[in-house]
Amino acid sequence: MSFFRIENVAKTFGEHQALQSFSIDLPKGQFLAIVGESGSGKSTLLRIMAGLEVQDLGEVWLGDLQILNPKQKLVSGYDQIKLIHQDYHLYPNSTVEENISRPLLSFDQSYRKKRVESLLKLLKLDALRTRFPRELSGGQQQKVAIAKAMSVEPDVLLLDEPFSSLDPIQTHELMGELKLIFQASGTTVILVTHDLDHALGLTDNLLILKKGKVVQKGNSKSLCTAPKSEYVARLFSPINALSGEKKSFIRPSDVKLRTSRGELAHVIDSRFLVHYNSLQIKIKETQAIWEADDPQRRFQVGDRVYVSWEEEKILRF
Ligand SMILES: Nc1ncnc2c1ncn2[C@@H]1O[C@H](COP(=O)(O)OP(=O)(O)OP(=O)(O)O)[C@@H](O)[C@H]1O
């Protein structure tokens, strides 16, 4: 059932169209990741969703409540929709506990105390409650920002590149924790990121944005196996252009490497990755450089390989 609705939202900055007729309709408790390259309009969209930016056209609705923009509403923003910024926006001179408690100043003290305690526990921040933001790692600061936003029990949480300043280990840990927290709280969450892996770590429900326009929606399997454009295909992995066929590509994981039969190529580079070696190969006939996965780690730089692929694995646009 419809819960959070964005209807035909458009926004231009001067001559530049940042968003073009953007619409979505999310049921309660759903987690959507919006993925797009830098400048595709992700942050602008989140700000409009939160009632913090004036759109040129379109409306935002949370159930029966129309989300008004700063031109229409004296104090911009809503407790029901909380935006968590890339740079956390914590109060630097307040402790972790105070940061989480501040949005609750208008609530009575016993509720405030109970809510803060439950968030400290939920986000495993108990031991850090007396620290100041400058005494925390990036991952810990991000968790405080999320706890602060969740303190007023918002219906919708908007996350703007939540892992952008974290290292891969922190990112992996935080993703695991957040997934469970959001599932348990039943909050509707929209994450925006340029990194597909960050999106996939949290949800399978994807929307791809390019130059302010939705280019494809769906789950990861459908987007990976049947991308509608090169842009969507390249979010999942590099793709190799087939010679002789316009706009036809094969993924490195779909390139078969053998010691006979196929197109002759030479291995010119090899990188060790966790699950396979990533090879660069030069196709003899066309001199094209391709990428190919070697899961059995059979081939070395300088080796001759014969490449082939299955017809149904070809991506055509
Ligand atoms: N206040 C502004 N004034 C002028 N142009 C703006 C403003 N805010 C955003 N833009 C432009 O609108 C486009 C979309 O910007 P936005 O920040 O929404 O993209 P993004 O996808 O979030 O990018 P990033 O991933 O780099 O944060 C960009 O071309 C940007 O330069």
Tally of CB atoms within 10 A around 283: 16
For residue 41, how far is its CA from the centre of ligand 1 (angstroms)? 6
Q: Is 40 in the pocket of ligand 1 (CB under 6 A)?
A: yes
CB neighbours of 252 closer than 8 A, spacing ≥ 6? 237, 238, 239, 240, 278, 290, 291, 292, 293
Q: Report the C-alpha gap between 131 and 99 in whole angstroms.
A: 10
Q: Print pLDDT tens along the chain (317 aa).
A: 789 999 999 999 999 999 999 999 999 999 999 999 999 999 999 999 999 999 999 999 999 999 999 999 999 999 999 999 888 889 999 999 999 999 999 999 999 999 999 999 988 899 999 999 999 988 899 999 999 998 999 999 999 998 887 888 888 888 888 888 888 888 999 999 999 999 999 999 999 999 999 999 999 999 999 999 999 999 999 999 999 889 999 999 999 999 999 999 999 999 999 999 999 999 999 999 999 999 999 999 999 999 999 999 999 99
Tell which residue, 45, 64, 70, 57, has the closest CA to residue 158.
Answer: 45
Of the candidates 83, 152, 151, 149, the one whose C-alpha atom is nearest the C-alpha of residue 117 is 151
Domains of the chain: 2-229 (3.40.50.300), 237-316 (2.40.50.140)
3-state secondary structure of 65: strand
Axis crossing angle, helix 138-150 with helix 168-185, rounded to the nearest 10: 20
Name which residue sits closest to atom 5 of ligand 1, judged by CA.
Answer: 13
Cα–Cα dist 66/71, whole Å: 14
- Residue 176: the pLDDT is 87
13 lines ligand 1 (CB under 6 A): yes
ipTM for the assembly: 0.95
Q: How far is ligand 1, taken at its centre, from the CA of residue 39, in Å?
A: 5
For ligand 1, atom 6: residue with the closest CA: 13
How far, in Å, CA of 123 to CA of 181, rounded? 8
Tell me if 34 CB under 6 Å of ligand 1: no
Residues contacting residue 227 through CB under 8 Å, at least 6 positions apart: 216, 233, 235, 236, 315
Q: Does 49 contact ligand 1 (Cβ within 6 A)?
A: no
Residue 168 DSSP class: H
**What is the spatial distance between Cα 314 and Cα 312, in angstroms, rounded to a whole number?**
5
Sorted by sequence, the CB contacts under 8 Å of residue 126 that are 6+ apart come out as 120
- pTM over 0.80? The answer is yes
Contact by Cβ (8 Å): 77, 131: no
How far apart (Å, rounded) are the C-alpha atoms in residues 55 and 35? 21
Question: Which ligand 1 atom is at minimum distance from the Cα of 47?
Answer: 18
Secondary structure tally for the chain: helices H, strands E: 8, 18
